[in-house]
Structure 1
Amino acid sequence: MSAPESLKEVYTDELKDLWSANDQMTKAIKTLSEKIHDKKLKELFEGSHAGIEGHTATIRSLLEAAGGEVEKEHCKGMEGLVKEALKHGLKEAPEDGDLLDIVLIAQYQRMSHYGVTGFGTAAAYATALGLKDDAKQLKGIVADIYKADEYTSKQSERLARLAARHAAATTD
């Protein structure tokens, strides 16, 4: 791929990268969700597939509308995050269920935060290009991700309290 020569090309490159990032994150979440112990957290992970797939459909339609090639471009940033998530969530995973769930939340949030920055950046580009509808859709995706992030943060706090109580009980 050659260097972009316009903001529109930068915008479409960002969308292609986000498409790849979403696909990679979906696969990682599916793998990690099999390890989750907490029912509410498992529902969130499993439900996030549909949300991410919806975001990907939006990306594809925005690429079509922008006249860009409707294909993804491998996202090396998400590749690294996925590698770390699988390492911490599978290979080096704690045995305690509450601790494992906390680790899985952290990995989920890292991948999600990457999405927030990408979609937020794409929304800024769309705004600068006068693509108001694109910007609105992309900002909606950012809002969806923030909502999931808030929920996972609350779950992490709840599970951390449980893990702390469990640790205190075993040391008494």
Structure 2
Amino acid sequence: MTTLKDLYIEELQDLWSANNQMAETVAKLADAASDSTLSDRLSASKSGIDEHTQTLKSLLSDIGGEMKKDHCKGMEGLVKEAHKHAIDSDLSGAALDVAIIAQYQRMCHYGIAGFGTTKAFAEALGENEAASKLDQALDDIYESDSYMSELAERSRNLDAMAD
């Protein structure tokens, strides 16, 4: 890797891998959730993650990058944490839902960092259409993260305290 374009391509490949890992994990989190609102939101988020993955593949093709994923070890670690603290835990009910929200938000924040960095690279390369698409993905991720914070603060954290 010798140029900003090379770095941009590597970031797109890394995000592709991160998104695939996150989508699989979010589906498991949705299945584990006890609250139907949380489960539905996670299922919708998985669909959004899948759409973002298609955007990443399109951007990779547009820039002439090799159509391959670069395994994301950062997301791999977050997936392991999601299993440990939520999916494979002994928690149930509202306490499990709170753990699910926390793990989901950790993965979202990783995505925010990755998509934000990649957008900055696209802008620096003059790839304005790509930057716009990455910015839209960022807006989606921020919105989902914000919704999860509200859900936790308004209901699931309170319910978990009552358990």
Q: 1:87 to 1:6 in 2, by over 3 A?
A: same
**What is the aligned length?**
162
Give deviations 1:97-135, integer Å, cap 9, x for gaps.
011000000000001110000000000000000110000
Is the Cα contact below 8 Å between 2:16 and 2:69 reproduced in 1? yes
CA distance, structure 1, for counterparts of residue 144 and residue 150 of structure 2? 10
What TM-score comes out, normalization by structure 1 length?
0.91
CA distance, structure 2, for counterparts of residue 163 and residue 61 of structure 1? 42
Per the alignment, residue 112 of structure 1 pairs with: 108
> CA shift at 1:66, angstroms?
0.3
Is the Cα contact below 8 Å between 2:14 and 2:69 reproduced in 1? yes
Give deviations 1:1-34, integer Å, cap 9, x for gaps.
xxx1000000000000000000000111111211
Per the alignment, residue 132 of structure 1 pairs with: 128
Q: Which amino acid aligns with 2:8?
A: Y
Question: Cα RMSD over matched residues?
Answer: 0.9
Task: Determine what percentage of the aligned residue pairs are the same residue.
Answer: 46
CA distance, structure 1, for counterparts of residue 50 and residue 89 of structure 2? 29
> CA shift at 1:94, angstroms?
1.6
Which is greater in Rg?
Answer: 1
> CA shift at 1:163, angstroms?
2.1
Per the alignment, residue 29 of structure 1 pairs with: 26
CA distance, structure 1, for counterparts of residue 94 and residue 106 of structure 2? 19
Is the Cα contact below 8 Å between 2:98 and 2:160 reproduced in 1? no
Q: Which amino acid aligns with 1:17?
A: D
Runs of 4+ in 1 over 6 A off after TM superposition: none
Which of 5, 10, 18 aligns to 1:8? It is 5
Per the alignment, residue 170 of structure 1 pairs with: none
1:122 aligns with 2:118: yes
What TM-score comes out, normalization by structure 2 length?
0.96
Matches within 5 A, 1:53-92: 53-92=50-89
Structure 1 unpaired stretches of 5+: 168-172
Give deviations 1:54-92, integer Å, cap 9, x for gaps.
100000010001000011110000000000101111333
